[in-house]
Amino acid sequence: MSSPTSGSEPQPSSVSPQVQRVALYAVASGLTPLIPVPFLDEYALRRVREGMVRSILRERSFSPPDRTITVLAGLHPREGSRLQQFASKTALFSLRLTWRKAYKRLATAIWVKDCVDMASVSLHHGYLLQHALERGDLDANSLASEEVPRRVHAAIDAACKELDARPVNQALRRLFAGSRLLLSELTKALESWNGAPRTPLEGEEQEVASLAERLAASMWEERGYFQSLESLYARHLQAR
């Protein structure tokens, strides 16, 4: 039996429902860079983000057009073009043939950073989308077209870019760096560069759920951070 949670750790019941709802999608987004097939990882990320938006809106009985879902989900490619991404992975493969240990350290660091970046974007955007709904910035009428959702998404994006995300990203980095699932997938990807679709591990769903629970608890410790994020969103929306 696991040891009881210490008094200094947040209890699950105290974690913000907003963070709980998006934590699972954030973890799922963070795992998409582990897909070893070029372009398929981007497709998987888009599906996860659109699924998060649909889930958040469905909780309020909203069923907007697919195009509105796409607008609110946004397109957030990794830094550089897809061609640059592919070229960087090819360069890593060449490095592996020459300096195996150095390659493994470098590739692991790059992949973990990619996982953190993708999880962070989904966490921030999902949290602020729920906040926008609570404020009444989106309703059934405005969701029927793209104009208001586009303004809301632009304000969300601007707020996320303005606030220093290091407190959240550091927590995500610790979470992913200690993940058995992520480290196992990284090892397989580094040992065999064949671009084959990944096979789900036994107990993978349980670990993803556990990662999401720990992420939600960690994020609850950053309540002041999310309050600042809400204020920035409101300011950017008002300016549009």
What pLDDT score was predicted for residue 6? 41
**What's the confidence (pLDDT) of residue 140?**
96
Domain boundaries, the chain: 15-196+203-238
pLDDT value at residue 7: 43
DSSP state at residue 193: -
Query: What is the model's pLDDT at position 191?
Result: 60
Q: What pLDDT does residue 88 have? A: 54
Could you give the CA distance from residue 129 to residue 118 in angstroms, rounded to a whole number?
Answer: 17
CA distance 141 to 90: 48
Number of other CB atoms surrounding residue 91 within 10 Å: 10
pLDDT of residue 105: 72
pLDDT of amino acid 22: 92
Give the separation between CA 18 and CA 2, rounded to whole angstroms: 27
Task: Count Cα neighbours of 209 within 13 Å in the Cβ-side half-sphere.
Answer: 4
Residue ranges in the chain modelled with pLDDT below 70: 1-16, 18, 36-38, 75-104, 185-204
Please report the pLDDT score of residue 159 as a whole number: 98
Q: Which residues are CB-neighbours of 119 under 8 A, at least 6 positions away?
A: 26, 27, 29, 30, 172, 176, 215
pLDDT for 50-104, tens place per residue? Answer: 999 999 999 999 999 999 999 999 965 444 434 345 445 555 555 555 556 666 6
Cβ count within 10 A of residue 153: 21
